[in-house]
Amino acid sequence: MSVKRNTGSTGVFAGFYDALNDREYYSVYADFILRTLKDRGVSPGSHVLDLACGTGEMSVILKKSGYRVCALDISSEMLTEASTKAYSEGIDDILFTCQDMRDFSLYSKTDAVVCIYDSLNHLMSRGDIVSAFSHINAAMSEKGCFIFDMSTKHRYADVYADNTFTVEDGDVFCVWENAFDEKRNVCDFLLTFFKERPDGLYERYEERQKQKYYPENFIIKALTDAGFINVVKISDTDVFGSYPDAEVGIRDVYVAEKA
């Protein structure tokens, strides 16, 4: 096997992201989010911000469910994937914006913010979390609903730990190496992708990422300080219990309301 190696590209992950994720898992998660939005009075027709939208899977689901959607991500490569996906579904009115979740602004207030799939765990300091929550609160209308998840300590210490995983999907093969520093609560990821080209050769790509664990008491205090009330934490067991292939105990889902 001949391999061409590319390293150091921060945009590599975007092109492989969907191949590594289960769309049915997204669908189950979306059902929970849509129910929660309606329960909190955010009905179809309302504005929803998909924060750290990635490749836009949830953005498209929200739009198809009747919401007016703004999709924000710091990665222009992810936004390219997301907009391409939306257009392929015949959707041309999602507003895509390239901004940092720690410091962003919208043209108008949003009725809800959704931030899923460990996106906030990519922030590397408590100050980053505080800043993100503050900007999220400022972007929301009165009594707006904020739904997000955070990875648990169990996920980093026991599931990822210092383990290596392999994932294969069609012509994409991924080796996922992990290293968790328990003192800093930081998990380092090295993802190596191999993608087959039309000529039968394989290209190799590498992506390095970090995520950080934050305890529940800090998250709730940061939310309260930012102006959120009625904070509820929900175990992923209750969110994905109906989906037999879902790993549970790896995420906590939070729902909060703007005061």
pLDDT by residue for the chain (259 residues), tens only, comes to 444 444 444 456 666 676 666 667 778 899 999 999 999 999 999 999 999 999 999 999 999 999 999 999 999 999 999 999 999 999 999 999 999 999 999 999 999 999 999 999 999 999 999 999 999 999 999 999 999 999 999 999 999 999 999 988 777 788 999 999 999 999 999 989 888 888 888 888 888 999 999 999 999 999 999 999 999 999 988 888 766 666 778 999 999 999 9
- In angstroms, what CA-CA distances link 85 with 16, 24, 100? 14, 16, 22
**Two structure tokens written together for 208:** 């390095």
Q: In terms of DSSP bridges, do strands 251-258 and 228-235 run parallel, antiparallel, or are they unpaired?
A: antiparallel
- In angstroms, what CA-CA distances link 31 with 223, 239, 242, 255? 24, 9, 11, 15
Give the per-residue pLDDT at 37: 98
Which CATH code is given to the segment(s) 3-8+155-211?
Answer: 2.20.25.110
Do 63 and 30 contact (CB within 8 A), yes or no? Answer: no
Which residue intervals of the chain bear CATH 2.20.25.110? 3-8+155-211
Give the per-residue pLDDT at 9: 40
Give the per-residue pLDDT at 243: 66
**Cα–Cα distance measured from residue 37 to residue 256, given in angstroms and rounded to the nearest whole number:** 11
**Cα–Cα distance measured from residue 85 to residue 98, given in angstroms and rounded to the nearest whole number:** 16
**Cα–Cα distance measured from residue 43 to residue 158, given in angstroms and rounded to the nearest whole number:** 39
CATH fold group of domain 12-152+214-258: Rossmann fold (3.40.50)
Do 66 and 45 contact (CB within 8 A), yes or no? Answer: yes
Give the per-residue pLDDT at 248: 78
Residue 209 CA, chain-centre distance (Å), reads 14
**Cα–Cα distance measured from residue 194 to residue 211, given in angstroms and rounded to the nearest whole number:** 23
Residue type, 130: V
Q: How many CB atoms lie within 10 A of CB 152?
A: 20
Give the per-residue pLDDT at 19: 62
Which residue intervals of the chain bear CATH 3.40.50.150? 12-152+214-258
Query: Which residue blocks in the chain are alpha helix, DSSP H?
Result: 12-16, 23-39, 57-64, 76-88, 126-139, 153-154, 216-226, 236-240
Indicate the pTM of the whole model. 0.91
Give the per-residue pLDDT at 3: 40
